[in-house]
Structure 1
Amino acid sequence: MSTFSTLGTPPLSPHSSHPYSSLHPPASSIGFSQPSISSGLRIRHTIYDTPQRGSTLIGLKDNILVRNDLQPSPSNPRYYEDGTEIFAYWIYKKLKKAIYGGVYLAYELRVKVPNEKGENGGYELTGNYVAIKKIEWGKVRSLSNRLIEDPLKEISCTQFLTTSGSPHILKALVALSDEKYLYSVLSYCNGGELFDHVEKSGRFSEPLARYWFKEILKGIQVLQTLGVCHRDMSLENMMVHNSSALIIDMGMCLRIPYLDSGGNIVSGVSSGAVRRCLLKAGRGCGKPNYMSPEIVAEKPFDGFSIDLWACGVMLFIMVTGVPPFDRAQPQDPRFQMSAINRQLSQMLTNWNMAPSDTCMDLLQRMLVANPAERLTLEEVCNHPWTRDSNVSVPRHGT
């Protein structure tokens, strides 16, 4: 049964239909390539408004981030020698704190038409925003062996996933570095976290939840097609842009190892390869409400399965407004009732917030304590609730 017309996405990876298997011993993850980081510099320069608004002078501004390891082309000062267009970024305000620094809003700039001498006549706004993760090198060095989240690996993974061209993965634009900071320049999302929208509404109607759930599945499809496990899927890590949802925060991502026909560990998702489980990773992977029971119990795990478990929790929160349990462990009575005893529908009925029967069936089959019995991505996409045509398209991401 095809899911393509329902999701409006390219064909699913053949591995989306493979269930969890313990036939082969767990293996270590495959590393990402080293991140591509260029030399950067913060300067003070003149900024003008966009050409559409008359290019009026805004003023002399600080905190303009530029790349400084390439020279402008002699024939066209708006481009580097390698033929790529020159962009700069005016770091405007801090949006939030982060473990290694902060996230900032910045204006994208391009070189204004040079003066008669061919000198940079300043920068003009393009009309686009970007988000910049400003990371302190000192914190990277001091926390590198204490935290699972790795900012360098996050840049590597985001750059790797950006090659997919998917609108459902946060896009890496460029990474720049000076002696004190590492700047990861990312595409900007104008709608905030999907969690904020659920919190504002209390809970979503099923047609609206179905819309956003399909958006989440589109991102999961990209991850599985490229053989990547996110490990921190949550409503907080889904950013809304217009009416799309993008997966962000790749700092815990892993590349899943595969076994080829010759018994070799390979990194690519290819026909004939067998997906391997991953060695246990400790309890610090992800947010407590979204962690699968095998992560909580510090057991080996299947990367696809734990991400889909988190998607089940996300759907539960969207249709009820509350998480299904505090932690996926037998000591939690709600986990015991819903995921072990498989009485999720009874639990929701007791709470007086039961969604439709097909929704409860999907939730129950995603939130099963035994990972070998959970639905695969293909099965989730083909479930009657997901395929239902009653979808409420949000306006302006709400």
Structure 2
Amino acid sequence: MPDIKQRIDIVIPSYRLEKEYILPLIRLPKPEGWVFNYYIVVDNPQVIVDEEIARLAAAGDIALLINPTNLGASTSRNRGLEAGSGQWILFLDDDIKADEMLLHQYVDAIARYPDEIGYIGLVKLPPPPTAFARALVINGSMMIFGIAEETDTFAWGATANVMVRREAVGSSRFSTDYPKSGGGEDVDFFLNVRDNNHSRNYKTLQEAVVYHPWWDGGQASFKRPFRYGVGNSYLSQFIPKYAYYDFPNTPEALFLLLLALPFIAFLAPSYLGSWLLLFIGIGFAEVIATLFQAAKRKAPLSAAVAYYLVPLKLAYETGLLWGNIARFRFKGIGARFEYKGQVRGNGFFRFNTYKIVKWVLYLIFFVLLFA
């Protein structure tokens, strides 16, 4: 029996338990001299277990753990993490297809870089099939999937394909304080593990590849960015060392204008019409600044892609705002999170072309309306 240092636990949280995804992951070619233990945590007590998966579980080839109720992604991953004892923990999603050499690549990385706290694999998406999917790529929503192709190390990775050393994880767990539907808890976990290990980044492995499909075939849906915004609104609260304050984004600015509206109506009713026109001006500034930023990045813009860029950004930022005001955390308005794991010295403001264009337009509108 191989030593415990030659064990990798593979944790796959799942709701659908679709055999066309799960079985190929179980059947991945295994490097000799290593033991791979699968912990498939099903967050759906009503799931119908495929016969082949049930047979593998009954034979002890995999551990199939079915939650008694829908407990969320964090609890499911924690349950899989705690069920094993291998030196390494490989997190995979239940809707990916892996390169045949995935496990070999991770084992090879352990041999080549034995002192790393973990490895971030590459998550490849097919070419964007729709204008909405192209807009997701252009606005940076999918950046973390391909981070292994951009840099040698990074502060956190997507749980679709990332492996961590159990010793480095220690007592860290995925926080259950984030929404069950997901968003923010993965960033929180990997940054906490990193910070508990002298803030050392994870090694990226572009050769450790999995393939992720587009959700719903790339059809337009703003629920996911909104949900991520809600989840990410917790990050600046739970990991304040990476938080800073910035200019209000568009939903925050509109919300603040709305709060001020009764006071304007009471104290300066002659300006009420101009105040209402500011709402339109702020929306117009958002459109111009977003498209200007995309053009500066030389993104391939069509009219259809441009149509989705602004609502995608607004969906995420509205989720960020709603996540704060829904729990009455009004000091979260304007709070931002540094996703690269860099502590900001002054804790305030970041300038870029998008913000400069937007705030110059704000100033112009304000002068035109109230001068």
Q: State TM-score, norm by structure 2.
A: 0.21
Which structure carries more helix by proportion? Answer: 2
